[in-house]
Amino acid sequence: MSLFVYGTLKPGEFFYSRYCEAHLISAQAAIVRGLLFALPLGYPALAAGSDWVQGYLLHLKSDALEAIDELEDYDPTRAAGDNEYERIEVEVFDLAQNSIGKAWTYRMELKRILTLRGHWLPNGMWTGNAESIEF
C-alpha cells in the first residue's frame, strides 16, 4: 500500500514510530500538488491546489491502513463531510517532478481548514513539535 504523508506521519515526526515504522517497506522523499496549511491544533492539512507540497511516499504493509484511517478521523462508511480528512488517491512525484505513481493521502476541505483557522504554508513544508500534539 502506498501512502503520501506530509505531517505527523513523516519519518521523524510524532506519529511515525507508532503508526508507520513497524509496517514500513520503503520510504522516499516526494511531492504532490496541493495547498498545505498549519492548523492551530498542532498538525497540518492538505487541500486541493496546484502548489508543490513536500512529504514522503511510504510503502506500507496493508494492515497499517485501518489504524491510520482512525488517526486521521476517516471512516469510508461515513459521509464525506463527517470525516475530518478524506482519504484520496493522488499522483506522487519525485523531487525532480517526475511522476512516480499514485498513492493514498489524506486531504481536508478548504472550508474546514479556514474554519479551524489554518494558515497557509507557501513553501509546502510542515514540521511539528512533539510537545504540541494532543491526542
Tell me if 65 is assigned to some domain.
yes
Please tell me the total count of domains within the chain: 1
CATH code assigned at 101: 3.10.490.10
Residue 39 lies in a domain: yes
Contacts of 54 by beta carbon, 8 Å cutoff, 6+ apart = 6, 29, 30, 31, 123, 124, 125
CB atoms near residue 120 (< 10 Å): 14
Q: Which of 6, 26, 30 has its CA nearest to residue 94?
A: 30
What is the full per-residue pLDDT of the chain (135 aa) written as tens digits?
Answer: 999 999 999 999 999 999 999 999 999 999 999 999 999 999 999 999 999 999 999 999 999 999 999 999 999 999 988 999 999 999 999 999 999 999 999 999 999 999 999 999 999 999 985 443 443
Does the predicted TM-score (pTM) go above 0.95?
no
Identify whether 108 is part of a domain: yes
Nearest to 61 by CA among 93, 107, 26, 106: 26
Residue found under cell 488517491: 89
- Say if 135 falls within a structural domain: no
Per-residue b or e along 87-111, where b marks 16 or more CB atoms closer than 10 Å to that residue's CB: beebebbeeeeeeeeebbbbbbbee
Domain containing 99 equals 2-129
